[in-house]
Amino acid sequence: MQEPTFLILTALAAGPQHGYGVITDVERISDGQVRLRAGTLYAAFDRLQGEGLIAEDREEIVDGRVRRYYRLTGDGAARLAAEAERMRRHAKAATARLRVIGSGGTA
């Protein structure tokens, strides 16, 4: 799973959100480092819905504009948890090996 997809699921883990809300939320989660593109987001929505990881929650009309809310499914939450654990382990492995270099392994 790629970073944008992971962050979309993470955004929805906080509760149902609409597309534009996910974009701004992802930007916040990543400290402004990841700015989701509309193309990425809506393609991902379709794909993740097809995989059963997210589902349409409801539609609202606010100021004459449609807001389509998506929510994380049980499968989506499980998948996100698995990916988070996988990333945690990989990050830990990399950091441990980099520490060895830093502490004079190469010198």
- By the rule CB under 7 A, 49 interacts with DNA: no
Among 39, 95, 104, 106, binds DNA (CB under 7 A): 39
Q: Which of 78, 105, 95, 104 is nearest to 1 (CA)?
A: 78
DSSP 35-87: ---HHHHHHHHHHHHHTTSEEEEEEEEETTEEEEEEEE-HHHHHHHHHHHHHH
Residues forming the site for its own copies (CB under 8 A)? 2-3, 6-7, 9-10, 13-15, 29-31, 33, 72, 77, 80-81, 83-95, 97-98, 100-101, 105
Smallest gap from residue 60 Cβ to its own copies (A): 19
Smallest gap from residue 106 Cβ to DNA (A): 21
Length of the chain: 107
CB 48 within 8 A of CB 2: no
Smallest gap from residue 10 Cβ to its own copies (A): 4
Which residues contact DNA (rule: CB under 7 A)? 1-5, 18-21, 24, 36-40, 42-47, 62-68
